[in-house]
Structure formats: structure tokens, C-alpha cells
């Protein structure tokens, strides 16, 4: 189906009233680049019901559109419920709910539903080199659901990232490592006693998994959440830099400065702020941290 130029410009101006093209209008408002015809045609094809999609269901607590910090390009981030960790600073306390408990922040949805939501923005992925990111919580907690989502994205040529705490049996990573394009792997604390104290679990499995995953070329982006006085201490950062220097094939390091977004959620969910109210890192402190990581010779940038 050829989309004439005049119709394309009408769509971009949100003035197209064709029922078939109507769904496009709501998804085009943020585009700044000219769109190519193939993207339109693909979009139209993929927004129709796809009988081959599985009906498996899983639990999510959010889908974020136009995410720009969860992997390359413009992405749709799907937040899966459930996490085996219990980090004192968790920005998504709703993710910690039990997978099967139902409430307004924990929806049971089908693979088909999630894939159709992802496909709505396929033209933006094409234009920006983006795709879908599966986050949480810990997405590997709902392994079968995640596996189906990744498999369907792969079948439809949609780039995928998994945002993981790394705390899952390695056999699970092995099964999805070739389905996912990039693994965003969080490391928090190198000292195991501190790791247990602040996350509720040992870091042994996490560090072992990371080492094994970096046997794969161009697969892993290491992410370090900078939590004031917990993970951003000089002692921990020096150990982290040393540990990362022992790994190979890392694409890059993302440093995640502290932000206060999570604090409001704790009030809403009536949960205790175990670290109290924290101050965000100053520019000088962030630059000092980054210069430590720059010594690794691996691309390092800030996110968030």
C-alpha cells in the first residue's frame, strides 16, 4: 500500500481522518524527522491483529512510551512485576509486589497485548535505532512471559534490551542471551556484606552471571546506580572500577545519578524510606566519579 506524500503530511499534522490511518495520528506527534514510506506500511500491517501471537499472560505494572534512557534510541519500556531483591532505594516499589497480587499497579496482560503496544511506535524505533526494553522489577522473574515477548520481538525484527539485576540462575540468561540484543546489567555494591544489607541478597550469583555474559561480544552494558553514601562511596567505586576492568567485551558503562522520583512513590504506597531523604550528587561529585571510570578506557556516560 503506497501512502501518497500529501496524506503523509496530513497524518503528521494530525489532520488525517481516514479510519484506517487514524491510529497513526496519536503516535506521530513527537516526530521531527521525515518518515519513510516503508515504516508507514509496516506500521499499518503490524497494528492489525496477529493470529500467530501467543496468548500467554504475565504481570506488568507500567509501559513507558518514548523512553530515551533505557537503551539506544527511542524505546518502549515494559515494566514486569516482581523482584527477588529488596533494595533500600528502589525507585519502583510497586515492582516489588507479588506477581499474582492484583491491583491498579499490577495488571495481568497477554503477550499479544504487549507486542501490539510495542508495535504502535515502530516508526520511531526505525528512525532512532530504538526498540523495546523489558525492565521491572526483575524481568527474569517471569521467565516464560519474557521469553515469549523476546521471541515475538525477534520475529518482528524489533531491537530488544533487558534491564536486569543479574540475580537469576545462569541457565535463564543462557536461554535468552541470543534473543535479546543488549543486556543492561546493574551492579550495585562489590562488598558482599553491604550488598546483602542493602539489597537482601548476596552478590555472588550476580557477579558470576556478569562474568559469563561478557563472554558474548557486544552484549552487555553495565549500569551503576549511584546511591548517595551507599554505592557512590570512594571505596565501592574503586572496587567497581577494578572489577569492571577484569571484564571483556563490555559495550559501555552507564552511571545512573540519584534522582528523587522514587521518594514520592514511597509516600503514595505508604512505605518507609529506609535511607531517608537523600541529596542528589553535585556536578563536581559526578565529574569526579566519571573520571574514575574513564580510566577504564571504556565509554562511560550518565543516564537518567
Distance CA 255, CA 235 (A): 16
Checking DSSP bridges between strand 250-256 and strand 75-80, what pairing results, if any? unpaired
Which one of residues 11, 74, 90, 168 is an interface residue with ligand SF4 (CB under 6 A)? 90
* CB of 39 closer than 8 Å to CB of 122: yes
Distance CA 280, CA 278 (A): 7
Distance CA 67, CA 124 (A): 11
Distance CA 158, CA 136 (A): 19
- Least separation in angstroms between residue 76's CB and ligand SF4 is 18
Instruction: Considering only the stretches 22-30, 111-119, 132-140, 212-220, report the one whose residues sit in contact with ligand SF4 under the rule CB under 6 A.
Output: 132-140
Residues near ligand SF4 (CB under 6 A), total: 12
Residues pairing with 176 in the sheet: none
Per-residue binding letters, 137-156, with ligand SF4 (x by CB under 6 A):
xx------------------
Question: Is there binding between residue 85 and ligand SF4 (CB under 6 A)?
Answer: yes
Distance CA 213, CA 146 (A): 18
Distance CA 110, CA 49 (A): 13
Question: Is there binding between residue 92 and ligand SF4 (CB under 6 A)?
Answer: yes
Question: Is there binding between residue 300 and ligand SF4 (CB under 6 A)?
Answer: no
Based on CB atoms, which residue is closest to ligand SF4, 40 or 79? 79
Instruction: Considering only the stretches 3-11, 56-64, 85-93, 147-155, report the one whose residues sit in contact with ligand SF4 under the rule CB under 6 A.
Output: 85-93
Distance CA 59, CA 35 (A): 34
Q: Identify the three-state secondary structure at position 254.
A: strand
Based on CB atoms, which residue is closest to ligand SF4, 58 or 137? 137
Which one of residues 78, 87, 122, 132 is an interface residue with ligand SF4 (CB under 6 A)? 87
Site residues for ligand SF4, 156-175, by CB under 6 A, read 165
Residues pairing with 223 in the sheet: 186, 254
Based on CB atoms, which residue is closest to ligand SF4, 130 or 225? 225
Based on CB atoms, which residue is closest to ligand SF4, 48 or 274? 274
Q: Which residues bind ligand SF4 (CB under 6 A)?
A: 83, 85-87, 90, 92, 95-96, 136-138, 165
Amino acid at each position: 500500500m503506497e501512502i501518497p506524500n500529501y496524506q503523509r503530511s496530513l497524518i503528521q499534522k494530525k489532520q488525517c481522518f481516514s479510519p484506517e490511518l487514524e491510529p497513526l495520528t496519536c503516535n506521530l506527534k513527537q516526530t521531527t524527522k521525515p518518515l519513510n514510506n516503508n515504516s508507514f506500511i509496516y506500521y499499518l500491517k503490524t497494528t492489525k491483529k496477529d493470529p500467530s501471537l501467543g496468548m500467554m499472560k504475565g504481570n506488568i505494572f507500567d509501559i513507558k512510551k518514548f523512553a530515551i534512557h533505557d537503551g539506544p534510541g527511542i524505546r518502549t519500556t515494559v515494566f514486569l512485576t516482581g523482584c527477588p531483591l529488596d533494595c533500600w532505594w528502589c525507585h519502583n516499589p510497586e515492582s516489588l509486589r507479588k506477581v499474582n497480587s492484583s491491583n491498579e499497579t499490577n495488571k495481568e496482560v497477554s503477550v499479544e497485548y504487549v507486542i501490539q503496544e510495542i508495535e504502535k511506535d515502530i516508526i520511531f524505533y526505525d528512525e532512532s535505532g530504538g526498540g523495546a526494553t523489558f525492565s521491572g522489577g526483575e524481568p527474569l522473574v517471569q521467565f516464560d512471559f519474557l521469553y515469549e515477548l523476546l521471541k515475538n520481538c525477534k520475529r518482528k525484527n524489533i531491537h530488544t534490551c533487558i534491564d536486569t539485576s543479574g540475580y537469576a540462575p545462569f541457565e535463564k540468561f543462557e536461554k535468552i542471551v541470543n534473543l535479546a540484543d543488549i543486556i543492561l546489567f546493574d551492579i550495585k555494591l562489590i562488598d558482599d556484606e553491604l550488598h546483602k544489607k542493602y539489597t537482601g541478597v548476596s552478590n555472588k550469583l550476580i557477579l558470576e552471571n556478569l562474568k559469563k555474559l561478557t563472554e558474548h561480544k557486544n552484549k552487555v552494558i553495565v549500569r551503576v546506580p549511584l546511591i548517595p553514601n551507599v554505592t557512590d562511596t570512594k571505596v565501592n567505586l574503586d572496587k567497581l572500577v577494578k572489577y569492571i576492568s577484569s571484564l571483556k567485551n563490555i559495550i559501555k558503562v552507564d552511571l545512573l545519578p540519584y534522582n528523587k522520583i522514587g521518594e514520592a512513590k514511597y509516600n503514595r504506597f505508604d512505605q518507609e524510606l529506609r535511607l531517608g531523604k537523600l541529596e542528589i550528587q553535585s556536578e563536581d561529585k559526578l565529574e569526579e566519579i566519571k573520571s574514575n571510570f574513564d580510566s577504564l578506557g571504556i565509554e562511560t556516560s550518565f543516564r537518567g
